[in-house]
Amino acid sequence: MNTDSSPETPTPDLEHYRVTGYSPGGNAVSRILWYYVNALIFNSALFPIYGLKRALLRWFGAQIGKGVVIKPDVNIKYPWRLKVGDFSWIGEGVHIDNLANVAIGANACLSQDAYLLTGNHDYSSTKFTLITGEIVLEDGAWVGARSIVCPGRTMRRNAILTAGSVLTRDAEANGIYAGNPAVLVRQRSIRPLG
């Protein structure tokens, strides 16, 4: 490992940064259209109409289940990389930064300001190469308010990430994760009859 911290250490060369081996999907027209639909209708509080938002997401290629709730001020990068199961909730201020696919199961909950982050960079390369990682949130998972799910992470069935926490590893089924980085702090149990 190079621990040389002298000024001679190279920095990333962002002048020559290029995105290679990655495609945003969609096409140029749909990307521009979505950019403004997202800015004006989703990432806004003026149109709190779930049905309209579900229809728009589907029209742009997202797979959106029945009864999905989409609160105000939501920011979604690419709908064609988004799948949300029946009756899941996307809370106020949620940011789904899905350069890579994000698959959310049914009855999942993303609370206010939750951030799903799929992009990273190779910090050991002067090319600062873009690295993307898909996120999977299985049925019943709950991403707490202001928490962050890091690129490539999976939250298994019913896993919980508590408010303000940062998930840097996968979350096992029924596990409750807290902290930065989040660690398993307890198990979730769900009473079958209520």
Cβ-based nearer residue to a second copy, 61 or 164: 164
Contacts of 113 (CB under 8 A, 6+ apart): 91, 92, 93, 94, 95, 145, 146
Nearest distance from C-beta of residue 114 to a second copy, angstroms = 11
Give Cα separations from 93 to 24, 53, 116, 125 (angstroms).
Answer: 23, 15, 12, 33
Residue with tokens 């403004």: 36
x/- letters, 40..79, toward a second copy (CB under 8 A)? ---x-xx-x-----------------xx----x-------
x/- letters, 100..129, toward a second copy (CB under 8 A)? ------xx-x--xx-x-x---x-xxxxxx-
The answer to whether 99 and 24 are in contact (CB under 8 A) is yes
Give Cα separations from 116 to 9, 14, 192 (angstroms).
Answer: 32, 25, 29
Which of 63, 87, 134, 170 binds a second copy (CB under 8 A)? It is 87
DSSP reduced 3-state for 3: coil
Nearest distance from C-beta of residue 181 to a second copy, angstroms = 7
Cβ-based nearer residue to a second copy, 39 or 55: 39
The reply on whether position 174 binds a second copy by CB under 8 A is yes
Which is it for strands 182-187 and 175-179: parallel, antiparallel or unpaired?
A: antiparallel
Question: Residue count at the site for a second copy (CB under 8 A)?
Answer: 79
Nearest distance from C-beta of residue 59 to a second copy, angstroms = 20
The answer to whether 95 and 115 are in contact (CB under 8 A) is yes
Site for a second copy in 125-164 (CB under 8 A): 125-128, 139-140, 142, 145-146, 148, 150, 156-158, 160, 163-164
The reply on whether position 83 binds a second copy by CB under 8 A is no
Cα separation, 130 vs 160, in Å, equals 28
Cβ-based nearer residue to a second copy, 9 or 23: 9
The reply on whether position 34 binds a second copy by CB under 8 A is no
Strand partners for 69: 89
